[in-house]
Each structure stands twice: as C-alpha cells, then as structure tokens.
Chains A and B, each alone.
Chain A
Amino acid sequence: QVQLVQSGAEVKKPGASVKVSCKASGYSFSSYYIHWVRQAPGQGLEWMGIIKSGGGSTSYAQQFLGRVTMTRDTSTSTVYMELSSLRSEDTAVYYCAREMATVTLDAFDVWGQGTMVTVSS
C-alpha cells in the first residue's frame, strides 16, 4: 500500500541541527512531490516546504529560509528534511506528506506518521 514512513524521535540541544527522513513505498516515487509540515504541541499545522521528488528542486516557506534543507535519494525513495540552528520554538511533530498531483497545486493525500523533535538544553 502507499505509505510514508518517517524516522524516529529526536532530542537536540539549542543551536544543533536535526535531519528527519521519510521513506516512500507503494507508488512511483519520482512522480509525486513531498511536503514537510510541522505541528508544535497543542498548535495547528505549519507548511515548511516542498521537494519535487523527480528533479529534486525545492521551495521553502519564508520563515524557514536559510535554516531548512530538503533533499531526496531516488535510489531508496527517501526524502530528508534538515533543520539547523534549532531553538526551543522548533519543538514540534514534523510530518512529511505527498501532494496528490503535480500539474497544479493540490491537496496532500498521504501522510507520514510524524517525527517528534524536542529541542531542550
């Protein structure tokens, strides 16, 4: 079945970096885009950015420019999200999600299970 499986929980100190993985299966990896969305404890959903799994091009939300890097490995159908210069406000669950189509912008039909990232000294 179509699924996205993310890496496990992380605990990081302020100023460090974290890299979260998202492994896709059950569909043609290069044919879809993957997004990253985060959710702070008790808060709503915040879009972080997109990576086009085929070509690897990216687009990031303004508030993460300079701190986030999204990459992919087509040989393992895995997408990565690295966030640097971590601060306590980055404590959140990070989700990867697949966009339904690629011709125009579309909704997210498949989500990973989420990865909890805790930033604490």
Chain B
Amino acid sequence: EIVMTQSPATLSVSPGERATLSCRASQSVNTNLAWYQQKPGQAPRLLIYGASTRASGIPARFSGGGSGTEFTLTINSLQSEDFAVYYCQQYRKVYTFGQGTKLEIK
C-alpha cells in the first residue's frame, strides 16, 4: 500500500497571504496525485488532479506541483473561504489519502 503523509498537520496563515501544503508518497506515484478541500459538514471537493491541473471552477489562486514522491499545494492570497482541511490522494496504485492538513486563520 502506498502511504501518503501530509505536513504540517495544522497550518496557521493570515488572510491575503500564501499557504503551502506538502504531501509525500511512500513510493513514486508519478503525477497521479489529487488534492481535495473539505469544509465542516461538507463532502470533499476536487481542487487539483494530475498533480497540477485545476479542476473545473477552481480559482487560479490554487496551484499544485511536484511529481514522484513530493507534492505541494499552494494557495495564493488566502480568502476567508479557503480555510478548511485539505487532503492529498494518490491513484497510481489503488487509492489512498493523506491524513489531511487543517488550514486555519492566524
């Protein structure tokens, strides 16, 4: 099983600033990596797939990068609605999720 490890567990950032979230895979997943956003009481929402492609309707302030085992999700000019939990997911071999990063207001 491919294990996905996200860091940090909690990230405190001020509105208007940039947030960078990390995700590491226990073995290479090429670019078979997605990012999801989840707000309290809601289902996850797809943000990024293929490591760097924004899903339909996702604002340009969200960007993804990386390949192999190291990935990042960057959110520029944080808006109030961006404070949520973010999960990475690999779909190279079966499907596994990271444990999540909570992005909170500083």
Q: Which residues of A are found within 8 Å of B87, using beta-carbon distances?
A: 44-45
8 Å CB interface, A80-121 against B: 95, 97, 100, 105-109, 111-114
Are A113 and B97 in contact (CB-based, < 8 A)? no
Are B94 and A114 in contact (CB-based, < 8 A)? no
CA distance A32 to B94 in the complex (A): 16
How many A-B residue contacts, CB cutoff 8 Å? Answer: 57
Are A44 and B97 in contact (CB-based, < 8 A)? yes
Judge whether B72 is part of the interface by a CB distance below 8 angstroms.
no
Judge whether B92 is part of the interface by a CB distance below 8 angstroms.
yes
Band of interface residues on A:
20 to 34
Closest to A108 in B: B46
Rounded to whole Å, the gap between the CB of A118 and the closest CB of chain B is 16
Are B43 and A47 in contact (CB-based, < 8 A)? no
Are A105 and B95 in contact (CB-based, < 8 A)? yes
CA distance A4 to B44 in the complex (A): 13
Known: A44-B87, A95-B43, A111-B44. A105 touches B92 (CB 8 A): yes
Rounded to whole Å, the gap between the CB of A43 and the closest CB of chain B is 8
